[in-house]
Amino acid sequence: MNVTGEPIIILLVEDDEDHAEIVKRSLKNHRVPNKIRHAADGQAAVDYLFRRGEYSNPEDSPRPHLILLDLRLPKMDGLEVLKQIKQTEGLLRIPVVVLTSSLAETDVARAYGHHANSYLVKPLNFKRFTELMTDFGFYWLGWNLNPFDRDRTDVA
Amino acid sequence: MTIESRIRITTLVLILYAVGLVLVLSWSSHQVGRGISGIETASQINRSAFMLRVLMKDYLEQGNKRILGQWDEQNLRLGRLLDEGQLSESLDTALLEGIRQRYQAVNHLYPRLIEMRASTETGDLNHDVTATKMLSALMFLQLEQLVHTANDLSMTTQTLTLKKRNFVGSLIVALGILAVMVILVNIHLIRRSVVYPLQMLSKGAESVGAGDLELVPETKSDDEVGKLTLAFNTMIAGLRKRTSDLKNAHSELELRIEERTAAYEQVRTQNDLLQAVLRAQTQFISFANPQELFRNLLHDLLTSTDSEFGFIGEIINTSEGEIYLKDRAIADISWDGESRKTYQKFADEKGLDFPIIRGLWGDVVRTGNPVISNDPANDPRRGGLPEGHPPLSSFLGLPFRSDGEVIGVAGIANRPGGYTQELVDFLQPYLATCANIIEAYRNENRRKAAEAELVLAYAQLEQRVLDRTAELESANERLVREIDERKRAEQSATTERQRFNEVLEILPAYVVLLAPDYHVPFANRFFEERFGKSGGKRCFEYLFGRTEPCEVCETYTVLKTNAPHHWEWTGPDGRNYDIHDFPFADTDASPLIMEVGIDITEQKSAEAEREKLITELETKNAELERFIYSVSHDLKSPLITIMTFLGFIEHAIAEGHTDNLNTDLERISRAASKMGQLLDEVLELSRIGRMFNPPTEIPMRDLVDEAVELVSGRIAQRGVKITIAPDLPVLYGDHPRLLDILQNLIENAVKFMGDQPNPEIEIGAREEAGETVLYVGDNGIGIEACYHERIFRLFDKLDQKTEGTGIGLALVKRIVEIHNGRIWVETEGIGKGSTFCFTLSHTVRVDDGEKLT
């Protein structure tokens, strides 16, 4: 929570509607207030971040404090999205957490190679999935100091 | 401004002034003349007026009618005068006008008065006497005023003329004064610009005459005098330069005389030295005692260099490699008792040997260069002085060289002021002479020794002739034996050569000898069997029928490098040869190339085959890896959905919330069926990898018809127009799989028509770069260039919402690749349709039945 009490905005980039629902449900009643914006493919995510097309109004498409990114996406894959974020001066400080079903070593290596801030694998087990999302919430939305939370005092 | 122009201007001013003066004078005399005539007229008017008054008075008192005649005369005269006065400019017009009015008034009154007077005299009582008197008085008054005004006119005219006369007088005086001033100013200016500078110049000339060249008269103006001054200054500057040039020339002359004197001195000393050299040569020629000769040389050297004492020695190289310095002359110097003895010993013919060469001497011998040391006591090269040697204050060591070798040295010491390089240069002829003498001396000695040797050799030769005769006899016998042996050896060599030829002939490789002019002097059987006999032709002519050497041939590099060369060659028979070229000398030592060629065609094709297999295997492996990756990822996704939503449901039931139950169950069911579909397709894909059906020939047209039939439902539903090109080729491959390709591509085209109002699909074939390209084109939504590769990847869909699992194009690609073909998409971008092209390279037959390879 930031000092103004406004919820943290998360951009969820996920093509699988069901998986997106899982994440939304897991974070809905979290103690850290948050708002989820959902992009269903890589192109939509990039359009949102660069405020193009339907996302051109900053009121409706606020800059996210955190990005949850799937790797295997239609149109533009997750690595390309990551690359564009980390090459853009205005976006590269937004923490990007990769959330994918891939355990492949090459995916992990390439994600960190493009400066991903964290790499999480979707667990097969419900309990573990909800645990992961809870912990994720505490870590990334609570403990972790975000570059936009300059005036945060609750961590100290 | 020049003086001439000044004088011109002055003259012009004076002329203008004179003309102005004449004009002014004539104008004023005219004015004065007019004034005088004005005075005359005015006084006549005055007199006439006065006369009229007197006459009127007389008439009125006397009543004499005669007076009236005078009056008329006078009255007429006044009228004429007044008319004249009106024309004159010098009379006051106001006063004249006043006189004229009075005159008219008098002439007006006059007839009435005469009438009145006449009636009074005739006694007519009707006439009032008083009226007559009043009229008379009026007449008088008018006349009185007439006289008065005429008098005023006369006075005024006189005053005006007087004024004019005075003005003209003062004008003349003023002009006179101005003329004097102009003349004075002119005189002053001429004096200032001519006389003063001329005085300065004459002063300057006087001082130059007195010898002072420093005075420079000032030049301020640019007139003639200024130019004169400038010329004068230039002249003085010229004089100054000439004077200093003379001074310089004088000092230069003095310097040259000094140089000439010094040169003369040098020539004189050089002459002395040359005379010494000449003397030495003469003495040598006259077979003087060498000791004497060198002593004289040393004496001359010491004298010409002002040295105190010195030394000349010859270098003797012993057979043991040691170097000795043999004294040829030594100056008589005051050593102590011991050295004096040594000196005496030296004085005989044999001379004195110094076995060790070191120190300053050693430096001269080792380097072969002169050594100058003007502080020998502290010189790092010094080697110390022997016992009793007189002290050294300066030293010069000189080498005598012959053919680059140092054959002798001269050392001189204690020249006042030390030694210089110039001195060394100066002594060069002397050094050369000494070297010549030593060399000649040596030659003389050698000649003597040689003569003695010759005598000895002659005796030895006689003995040797005797010995050799005996030797020859025995050698002859030996030779006969050797000839026999040689014959036997030749016999065996021929056998050897035959054997070697056999080897060459049956060798499973070719061996040829090539000449630098490309002729083939030798070729073994293998070569001739493969390529025929050369028949005296050059290699490129009979192998390839060319007129000049082949560009790709590397054989002849051997001639340049003279080293073996290894390369590969494709022969005229199309086979590959591993070539080894060696430099080779013919029996007459002329250069040849020996070339050995081994047929490696089979080896090479096996190698290529192996590489192809490896590449294929690598491609397959990579494909498998991609496949496993996609499958694991895509199969895992629905599993995650199923597991997680099951968890949610469990949780919800436990807590009693059943709102989402139905949708969650639906999600699970959807995921499960998707998983089933994926598994089916994966199985299908893996089955394609192993072609079940044996390849057959199928006309493409039949396949297209079959595929269109399979998709006819969707085609009809979307209203797509299908165009099939005529003359389609005959395909060769797995029938059901080839059908899969067309079915999938047509299905795809229908699926991605977008909102195209006139959907069309064209199926055909075209020839491109020697291969048949088959294509299925549409006018649907098209594909962006960046996705041209991705669309063929397994489970990769551009739009998540479209039906299917994304396996279709991956499957098509797989089938095309199994048929050794390629597949790609051509599109001009979004909204411009796309064309899927593929080849089935080596299995495609054209419709005339001829097989393409």
Contact B800 A127 (CB under 8 A): no
What is the overall mean pLDDT for chain A? 84
d(CA B43, CA A136): 147
**A96-100/A34-39 β-pairing:** unpaired
Contacts of B399 (CB under 8 A, 6+ apart): B364, B365, B368, B369, B370, B406, B408, B409, B431
Provide the token pair at B258. Answer: 């000094």
Tell me the residue length of chain B: 853
Strand, helix or coil at B553?
A: coil
Q: Beta partners for B93?
A: none
CA distance B509 to chain A (A): 53
Evaluate if residue B8 carries a pLDDT over 90.
Answer: no
What is the DSSP secondary-structure string of B173-238?
Answer: HHHHHHHHHHHHHHHHHHIIIIIHHHHHHHHHHHHHHTT-----------SHHHHHHHHHHHHHHH
CA B705, distance to chain mean position in Å, is 73
- The letter for the amino acid at B816 is V
Nearest-angstrom CA–CA distance, B795 and B807: 5
- Contact: B633, A72; criterion CB under 8 Å: yes
User: Which candidate from B639, B644, B797 shows the least CB-CB separation from A22?
Assistant: B644
Q: Which residues in chain B have their CB less than 8 angstroms from residue A38's CB?
A: none
The whole-number average pLDDT for the span B170-198 is: 82
**Residue B55: which of B122, B129, B139 has the closest Cα?**
B139
Q: Which of B154, B149, B73, B66 is nearest to B105 (CA)?
A: B149
For residues A62-66, give the mean pLDDT. 88
Residues in B lying within 8 Å of A, measured between beta carbons: 629, 632-634, 636-637, 639-641, 643-648, 650-651, 667, 670-671, 787, 796-800
Question: Residue B438: left (phi > 0), alpha (psi -120 to 50), or beta?
Answer: alpha
**DSSP-assigned letter for residue B312:** E
Give the pLDDT band of residue A152 (cuts 50, 70, 90).
very low
- Residue A105 has, within 13 A of its CA and on its CB side, a CA count of 1
Nearest-Cα residue of chain B relative to residue A101? B633
Partner residues linked to B778 by β-bridges: B761
Q: What angle do CA B670, B673, B679 make, to 5 degrees?
A: 140
B640 to A124: CB separation less than 8 angstroms, yes or no: yes
Quote the pLDDT of residue B802. Answer: 61
- Residue that is written with structure tokens 């006549």 in the block: B44
Any residues with CB less than 8 A from the CB of B160 and at least 6 apart, and which? B35, B38, B90, B92
Given an 8 Å threshold on Cβ–Cβ distance, is A101 in contact with B648? no
- pLDDT of A154 reads 47
Percentage of the residues of chain B whose pLDDT score is greater than 70: 89
Q: Quick check: B125 pLDDT over 60?
A: no
Q: pLDDT tens for residues B719-739?
A: 888 888 888 888 888 888 888
- Burial profile B534-562: b = 16 or more Cβ within 10 angstroms, e = fewer: beeebbebbbeeeeeeeeebebeebeeee
Pairing of strands B565-570, A8-13: unpaired
Conformational region of residue B665, where left means phi above 0, alpha means psi within -120 to 50, and beta covers everything else: alpha
| Residue of B518 and A34 predicted with greater confidence | B518
pLDDT of B414-449, one tens digit each? 888 888 888 888 788 777 877 777 777 778 778 888
Comparing alpha-carbon positions, the chain B residue that sits nearest to A76 is: B798
Closest Cα in chain A, distance from residue B647 (Å): 5
Interface of A with B in 97-116 (CB under 8 A): 101-104
> Quick check: A124 and B639 CB within 8 A?
yes
The beta-carbon neighbor of A102 closest among B633, B797, B798 is B633
Question: In chain A, what are the helix, strand and coil shares in percent, each to the nearest 5?
Answer: 40, 15, 45
Spatial contact of B175 and B23, defined as CB atoms under 8 Å apart: no
Six token digits for residue B304:
């010409």
Of the candidate ranges A143-152, B498-507, B750-759, the one whose mean pLDDT is the lowest: A143-152
Query: Cα–Cα distance between A91 and A70 in angstroms, integer?
Result: 18
Residue of A nearest to B671 (CA): A18
Task: Find, in chain A, the residue whose alpha carbon is nearest to that of B669.
Answer: A18
Compute the distance between CA of residue B630 and CA of residue B624 in angstroms, rounded to an integer: 10
Separation CA B8–CA B1 (nearest Å): 11
How far is it, in rounded angstroms, from Cα B378 to Cα B399? 22
Span B586-612, pLDDT tens digits: 888 888 999 999 999 888 889 989 998
Cβ contact A74–B799 (<8 Å): yes
3-state secondary structure at position B691: coil
- Work out the average pLDDT over B634-654: 87
Task: Tell me the C-alpha distance between A3 and B596, whole Å.
Answer: 89
Query: Does the distance separating the beta carbons of B799 and A126 come in below 8 Å?
Result: no
Predicted pLDDT of residue B88: 73
Paired residues of A98 in beta bridges: A69, A119
| CA dist., res. B783 & res. B809, Å (int) | 14
Is the pLDDT assigned to residue A156 strictly greater than 50? no
**Minimal Cβ distance to A126: which of B646, B670, B671:** B646
Position B824 pLDDT exceeds 80 = yes
Contact A125 B637 (CB under 8 A): no
Whose CA is closest to B45, among B194, B177, B203, B153? B153
| Alpha-carbon distance values, B347 to B184, B327, B337, B341 (Å) | 114, 10, 15, 10
Kindly list the residues from chain A whose CB atom is less than 8 angstroms away from the CB atom of residue B797.
74
Q: Given this model, what pLDDT does residue B656 score?
A: 83
B150, B419, B474 from B276: Cα distances, Å: 146, 20, 66
For residue B759, is pLDDT > 80?
Answer: yes
Q: Convert the pLDDT of each residue in B85-111 to its tens digit.
A: 777 777 788 888 888 888 888 888 888
At A5, is the secondary structure helix, strand, or coil?
Answer: coil
Nearest chain A residue (CA) to B649: A126
Q: How confident is the model at residue A155 (pLDDT cuts 50, 70, 90)?
A: very low
Residue B791, min C-alpha distance to chain A (Å)? 9
Q: Is A130 on the interface with B (CB under 8 A)?
A: yes
What long-range pairs does B54-58 form, CB within 8 A, spacing at least 24?
B56/B139, B56/B140, B56/B143, B57/B140
In degrees and rounded to multiples of 5, residue B169 shows phi and psi of: -55, -50
Over its C-alpha atoms, chain B yields an Rg (Å, rounded) of: 76
**Least confident piece of the model among B11-15, B39-43, B399-403:** B399-403
B140-154, B267-281, B505-519, B663-677, range with the lowest pLDDT: B267-281
**How many Å is the Cα radius of gyration of chain A?**
15
pLDDT of residue A99: 93
pLDDT (mean) for B822-826: 88
Identify all chain A residues contacting B645, using CB atoms and an 8 Å cutoff. 18, 22
pLDDT at A39 over 80: yes
- Reported as a pLDDT band with limits 50, 70 and 90, residue B288 is low
Identify whether the C-beta of residue B812 lies closer than 8 Å to the C-beta of residue B744.
Answer: yes
CA distance to partner chain A, nearest, from residue B643 (Å): 6
Q: Do B640 and A101 touch (CB under 8 A)?
A: yes
Tell me: pLDDT of B10 over 70. yes
User: Which pLDDT score, from 0 to 100, does residue B798 have?
Assistant: 62
- The residue of chain A nearest to residue B668, with distances taken between CA atoms, is A18
Could you identify the residue written with the tokens 């002849």? B556
- The predicted pLDDT at position B691 comes to 57
Q: Is B473 exposed, middle or buried (0-12, 13-18, 19+ CB in 10 A)?
A: exposed
> Which residues in A lie closer than 8 A to residue B654 (C-beta atoms)?
none
Residues of A in contact with B626 (CB under 8 A): none
Q: With bands split at pLDDT 50, 70 and 90, how would you rate the model's confidence at B339?
A: low
Min Cα distance A3 → chain B (Å) is 33
- φ/ψ of B366, rounded to 5, equals -65, -45
Q: What confidence score (pLDDT) does residue B337 get?
A: 57
> Which domains are assigned to chain A?
8-142 (3.40.50.2300)
With DSSP H G I counted as helix, E B as strand and the rest as coil, what are the percentages for chain B, rounded to 5? Answer: 65, 15, 25
Give A123's contacts in chain B (Cβ within 8 Å).
Answer: 640
Cα–Cα nearest to B191, from B464, B20, B430, B6: B6
For A106, the token pair is 């090459």
The alpha-carbon gap from A26 to the nearest alpha carbon of chain B, in Å, equals: 10
Compute the mean pLDDT over every residue in chain B, rounded to the nearest whole number: 81
Nearest CA in chain B to A123: B640
pTM for the full model?
0.39
Cβ within 8 Å, pair A101-B667: no
Other Cβ atoms within 10 Å of B832 Cβ, number: 12
- Contacts A–B by Cβ distance under 8 A: 65
* Positions of E strands within B641-744: 696-699, 721-724, 730-733
Least Cα separation, residue A42 to chain B (angstroms) = 10
